[in-house]
């Protein structure tokens, strides 16, 4: 019978089965003294950490726990997938605690953007989704843009409270927390002198000067994001890593755009107009006639229409249809969660149909750009 062993860094129970879960350590590390889970080992030796994916009940339990404490909540969302990464009903869990909304990955927007416009857009969207915020900050954790403001906002709004960082997976929570570790606390010293105290919630805590902590909660997995549905090998094609260069298509009605084999956009009816695609530039877009589209997909998915490549097509849920009418005179984005969006500047209105893998969220919103 195995004896339960705990990480001397964070106090979680150590396991060797799954690197994705909390408390993982490789077999070979078990004989080390002190014993550290891989996450604490990385923090200690490389000043970096990685996220874990706990089960979702666990996540909701942790979120609800925040409501019972006096804390500042930092909610990180991904600007590339705003709707897909926003935690709807956050207040139900975190109660009346103030929320700072940190919108990450602004480096992905085209260079010539108006920051104030984006900020206003985010405020309006957050409000529409029922999220009350004490502050909205735009940043890029990866490119270190706007990060000073994040640290300032946290310092300003937390007073002497603990800080809980919450977000969906893949929004850049680890990247951001790693920066906080570097810029905000003397972590190395803390780890060697007094290891992170373990908590009943098995959360990693980063000590602050005043005895308070920044508490990293596990990332919530939102299955409605394309990024959660596809093979990890295809993530690079879908997640942009450079500023997006929008691609404009002038389409007549009854024309179709394919985004690799992941999604399809049919312009069913309306006057000739332009459609501006904001997606990873590593994802090829293919234009065809609507009446050819079914056949083209059946014959060429995984080849001309790729990624995903043929051998990974089976893993992709079947495409299902979402029909929309874009109102006359509106500026709208048709959003495919995790893939990007198509901006429609429609004087005359348009009828469109999006085909996306089953379970992936597709929606219309006011234009971001």
Least Cβ distance, residue 3 to ligand GDP (angstroms): 31
Least Cβ distance, residue 235 to ligand GDP (angstroms): 8
Least Cβ distance, residue 232 to ligand GDP (angstroms): 11
Question: Can you spell out the DSSP letters for 78-144?
Answer: EGGGHHHHS-TTHHHHHTT--EEEEEE-GGGS-SS--HHHHHHHHHHHHHHTT---SEEEE-BTTTT
Least Cβ distance, residue 164 to ligand GDP (angstroms): 14
Pick the closer one to ligand GDP by CB: 175 or 345: 175
Q: Which of 204, 216, 288, 300 is nearest to 252 (CA)?
A: 288
* Interior angle at CA 90, CA 85 and CA 91, nearest 5: 160
- Number of CB atoms found within 10 A of residue 31's CB: 7
Least Cβ distance, residue 80 to ligand GDP (angstroms): 8
Rounded to the nearest angstrom, the gap between the alpha carbon of residue 333 and the centroid of all alpha carbons in its chain is 18
The DSSP H or E segment spanning 148 is helix 147-158
Least Cβ distance, residue 206 to ligand GDP (angstroms): 14
Least Cβ distance, residue 94 to ligand GDP (angstroms): 18
Pick the closer one to ligand GDP by CB: 65 or 167: 167
Pick the closer one to ligand GDP by CB: 37 or 305: 37
Q: Which residues contact 9 (CB under 8 A, 6 or more apart)?
A: 34, 36, 37, 39, 40, 41, 43, 44, 191, 195, 196
Least Cβ distance, residue 107 to ligand GDP (angstroms): 5
Pick the closer one to ligand GDP by CB: 8 or 169: 169
Least Cβ distance, residue 219 to ligand GDP (angstroms): 5
Pick the closer one to ligand GDP by CB: 23 or 270: 23
Separation between Cα atoms, residue 268 and residue 293, nearest integer Å: 12
Q: Which residues contact 238 (CB under 8 A, 6 or more apart)?
A: 226, 227, 230, 262, 279, 280, 282, 283, 307, 338, 339
Question: Where are the strands (E) in 154-207, listed by range?
Answer: 162-167, 204-207
Pick the closer one to ligand GDP by CB: 239 or 326: 239
Q: Is 197 exposed, middle or buried (0-12, 13-18, 19+ CB in 10 A)?
A: exposed
Which residues make beta-bridge pairs with 257?
265, 287
Separation between Cα atoms, residue 193 and residue 44, nearest integer Å: 12
Pairing type for strands 255-259 and 263-269 reads: antiparallel
Separation between Cα atoms, residue 242 and residue 239, nearest integer Å: 9
Which residue's Cβ lies closest to ligand GDP? 172
Separation between Cα atoms, residue 354 and residue 256, nearest integer Å: 10
Separation between Cα atoms, residue 40 and residue 44, nearest integer Å: 6
Least Cβ distance, residue 203 to ligand GDP (angstroms): 14
Pick the closer one to ligand GDP by CB: 38 or 51: 51
Pick the closer one to ligand GDP by CB: 238 or 344: 238
Pick the closer one to ligand GDP by CB: 167 or 270: 167
Which residues of this protein are in contact with ligand GDP, per CB under 6 A? 51, 104-105, 107-108, 140-143, 167, 169-175, 219, 239, 241
Pick the closer one to ligand GDP by CB: 41 or 267: 41
């Amino acid at each position: 019978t195995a004896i339960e062993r705990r990480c001397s860094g964070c106090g979680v129970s150590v396991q060797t089965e799954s690197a994705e879960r909390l408390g993982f350590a490789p077999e070979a590390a078990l004989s080390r003294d002190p014993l550290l889970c891989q996450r604490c080992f990385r923090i200690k030796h490389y000043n970096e950490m990685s996220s874990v994916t706990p089960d979702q009940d666990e996540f909701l339990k942790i979120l609800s726990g925040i409501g019972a404490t006096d804390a500042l909540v930092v909610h990180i969302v991904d600007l590339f997938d705003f709707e897909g990464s926003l935690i709807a009903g956050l207040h139900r869990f975190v109660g009346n605690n103030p929320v700072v909304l940190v919108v990450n990955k602004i480096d992905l927007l085209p260079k010539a953007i108006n920051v104030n416009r984006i900020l206003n857009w985010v405020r309006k969207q957050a409000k529409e989704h029922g999220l009350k915020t004490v502050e909205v900050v735009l940043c890029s954790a990866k490119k270190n843009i706007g990060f000073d403001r994040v640290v300032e906002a946290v310092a300003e709004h937390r007073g002497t409270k603990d800080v809980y960082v919450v977000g969906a997976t893949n929004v850049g929570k680890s990247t951001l927390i790693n920066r906080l570790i570097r810029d905000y606390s003397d972590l190395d010293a803390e780890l060697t002198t007094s290891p992170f105290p373990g908590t009943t919630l098995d959360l990693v805590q980063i000590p602050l000067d005043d005895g308070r902590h920044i508490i990293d909660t596990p990332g919530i997995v939102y299955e409605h994001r394309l990024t959660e549905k596809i093979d990890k090998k295809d993530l690079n094609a879908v997640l942009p890593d450079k500023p997006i260069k929008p691609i404009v298509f002038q389409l007549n009605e009854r024309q179709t755009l394919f985004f690799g084999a992941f999604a399809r956009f049919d312009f069913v009816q309306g006057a000739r107009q332009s459609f501006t695609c904001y997606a990873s530039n590593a994802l090829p877009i293919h234009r065809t006639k609507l009446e050819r589209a079914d056949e083209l997909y059946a014959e060429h998915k995984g080849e001309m229409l790729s990624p995903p490549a043929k051998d990974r097509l089976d893993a992709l849920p079947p495409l299902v249809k979402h029909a929309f009418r874009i109102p006359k005179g509106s500026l709208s984005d048709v959003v495919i969660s995790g893939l990007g969006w198509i901006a429609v500047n429609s004087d005359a209105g348009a009828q469109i149909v999006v085909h996306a893998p089953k379970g992936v969220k597709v929606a219309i919103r006011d234009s971001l750009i």
